[in-house]
Chains A and B, each alone.
Chain A
């Protein structure tokens, strides 16, 4: 099917500045998808790959999107599934003895942390890097399900939306959020 056909079946897609709806969709959701992937994997390169794969999947399957859930929930569900695949792949590699030390790979590139304000670069970068490490460490300490729920809750999704995104019962989401919130309050108390 041609691209035009996809656009016709997805009237809810936002239009980008250049009239390119796909570009508009990326612009609107890329921060959310990347943040989810980064917080759940703790790996900047993997988060970048997952973000790209998520949007490519959206591009391919847009016509099958029935609009039962919101576009945001659908996108995040695809991204969360890709993150789960990533962890399965990591486990498999580790089992096969192909795992390797990824400390450097996990850290985001310094230039990616530096805001676009040349005057305050060193201090801002140091502060951003320190907070990034602490937040990521706290999130990484949570069990996988609690981590997923906490990251989505921090994106201000409701319990019902998280349940749809993760394919869980609302009660399970609530229980996981309760535990995650308690742990995060303890770990990041100085920021909360």
Chain B
């Protein structure tokens, strides 16, 4: 068989048959994906990115100041309280101040 005859028979065999809707959908997708074609469908991708960026900024920002620390209670203060409970306060007051 001649080369051209084989090519003529091979061409329809290897051609791809798809409904028109397939080609329309494909064309639409390509045009939508081409740079410069602004599409609403692509814009939504920015929303999670923006949310993530806001979260990172929030977490990374400088803390306003150290949280107020609970006042430390020294052992000396506790000992002082013990002494007060054991003794009669009035006796501890010098006579001149009474």
Contact = CB atoms under 8 A, between A and B. Distances in A.
Nearest to B26: A30
B31 A153 contact: no
B13 A156 contact: no
For the complex, would chain A's binding face be called helix, strand, loop or mixed by DSSP majority?
Answer: helix
A56 B9 contact: no
B53 to A, nearest CB: 27
A35 interface: yes
Contact of B17 (A3, A27, A52, A128): A128
Interface stretch (B33-41, B56-64, B67-75, B79-87): B33-41
B96 interface: no
Contacts of B18: 34, 112-113
A20 B31 CA distance: 10
Nearest to B4: A156
A128 B18 CA distance: 10
Interface residues of A, number: 41
B3 A23 contact: no
A93 interface: no
A27 B27 contact: yes
Interface stretch (A65-73, A79-87, A164-172, A183-191): A183-191
Contact of B7 (A35, A114, A115, A154): A154
A9 interface: no
Give the size category of B's interface with A: 20 to 34
Contacts of A35: 14-16
A22 B34 contact: yes
A60 interface: yes
Interface in A158-187: 181, 184-185
A116 B33 contact: no
A31 B16 contact: yes
A139 B13 CA distance: 11
A113 B18 CA distance: 6
Contacts of B29: 52
A135 B14 contact: yes
A59 B11 contact: no
Contacts of A34: 16, 18, 26
B30 A156 contact: no
B9 to A, nearest CB: 5
Interface of B: 1, 3, 6-7, 9-11, 13-23, 26-27, 29-31, 33-36
